[in-house]
């Protein structure tokens, strides 16, 4: 069970799943907007809001559905995932990385060696 937990929390599995869900929903928004816009081009502007399947209402429905889905995914998937990830795999403490500290020590040693006179 520990290996599965590590697989789910360490990998980009959840990030990829969220991206697919959001991209699919946003694709519907783009499709309905395109259908509505192209349906208006040959027709007159008088029936812009009354077309059945290519109506502005269908576009607004897709936008509202997208926003609701995004909120659900954020509050029910992303927030619990980030809390669990931080609980089981905490972020390293902020500070200077070890390799940077080591490189600074080497630089300082080289500069100190250059400044001492040789006999």
CA dist 92 and 66 (Å) reads 35
pTM to 2 decimal places: 0.60
The pLDDT, as a whole number, for residue 69 is 93
Statement: residue 67 has pLDDT above 80: yes
Residue owning tokens 């990030």: 15
The pLDDT, as a whole number, for residue 116 is 65
Question: Which among 71, 60, 70, 66 has a CA at the least distance from the CA of 32?
Answer: 60
Determine what percent of the chain is predicted with pLDDT higher than 70: 82
């Amino acid at each position: 069970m520990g290996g599965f937990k590590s697989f789910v929390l360490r990998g980009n599995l959840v990030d990829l799943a969220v991206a697919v869900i959001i991209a699919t929903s946003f694709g519907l928004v783009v499709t309905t907007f395109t259908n509505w816009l192209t349906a208006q081009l040959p027709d007159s502007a008088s029936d812009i809001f009354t077309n059945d399947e290519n109506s502005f209402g269908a576009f607004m429905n897709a936008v509202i559905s997208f926003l609701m889905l995004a909120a659900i995914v954020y509050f029910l998937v992303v927030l619990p995932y980030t809390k669990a990830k931080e609980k089981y795999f905490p972020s390293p403490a902020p500070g200077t990385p070890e390799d940077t500290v080591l490189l600074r020590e080497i630089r300082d040693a080289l500069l100190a060696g250059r400044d001492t006179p040789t006999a």
